[in-house]
Amino acid sequence: MDVIQEYNKKYEFFHEITGEAMRVHRKFRGGLLESAYEAALKYLLEQKGYTVERQVFVPMYWDDVRLEQDYRLDLLANGNIIIELKAIKHIDTQHRQQLWSYLRITHKPYGMLINFSPEGLYSEWYHYHEASGDIDKIKLM
């Protein structure tokens, strides 16, 4: 297997999850609440063998002190893929920063930002490197 094939195989799950999101969008189109897309995508991913949790609480800490603030991840697949869903006209920097913050807070390695827009489905994929704190945007080659 060459380098490009290995790279694509490593991140194949991004493509598979996006494919299931496309199925949801084709069936329901744009215009529903985010929670409707969330429920449908969870169902389809579970049918594909993923373990998926909805509305996962993420507590905030300052060193060892738990703060009076929690966040909620829309979906967490296989315990290591954060899937942040939107149902808006277009994705902006603030939506990306929300996902990036979740990656940094949880130390989960993978994140997806999926928008069920009336104009079509949009998906971005990220890999968080805990050692460096860097977040790379993933593109299949």
Q: For residue 90, which phi and psi values (nearest 5 degrees)?
A: -155, 155
- pLDDT, residue 8, reads 82
Span 88-96, average pLDDT: 95
**What strands, in cross-sheet order, belong to the sheet with 65-77?**
52-62, 65-77, 81-86, 110-117, 120-129, 134-138
- pLDDT, residue 2, reads 86
Q: At 127, is the pLDDT very low, low, confident or very high (cuts 50, 70, 90)?
A: very high
| Contact yes or no for 55/74 (Cβ under 8 A) | yes
pLDDT at 85 over 90: yes
- pLDDT, residue 141, reads 53
The radius of gyration of the chain from alpha carbons, rounded to an integer in Å, stands at: 15
Segment (H or E) for 99:
helix 93-106
- pLDDT, residue 3, reads 85
Convert the pLDDT of each residue in 18-65 to its tens digit.
Answer: 999 999 999 999 899 999 999 999 999 999 999 999 999 999 889 999
| Contact yes or no for 47/20 (Cβ under 8 A) | no
